[in-house]
A = this chain, B = another copy of it.
Amino acid sequence: MMINTLNFNEDYLGKLEQNICYNKILNMADTIDVLTGKWKIPIIICLSFKPKRFSEISRELKTITDRTLSKELKFLEENLLITRNIIDEYPLSIEYQITEHGLSLTKILMILREWGEIHRERILESHRSTKI
Contacts and interface: CB of A to CB of B under 8 A. Distances in A.
Contact of A80 (B27, B28, B79, B126): B126
Contacts of A62: 7-9
Interface residues on A, range: 35 or more
Q: Give the residue among A31, A101, A105 with the most B Cβ atoms within 10 A.
A: A31
A38 B112 contact: no
A41 B26 CA distance: 10
B25 A119 contact: no
Contacts of A42: 6, 8, 25
Interface in A96-132: 101, 104-105, 107-109, 111-120, 122-123, 126
Interface of A: 2, 4, 6-9, 11-12, 21, 24-32, 34-36, 38, 41-42, 45, 59-63, 79-80, 101, 104-105, 107-109, 111-120, 122-123, 126
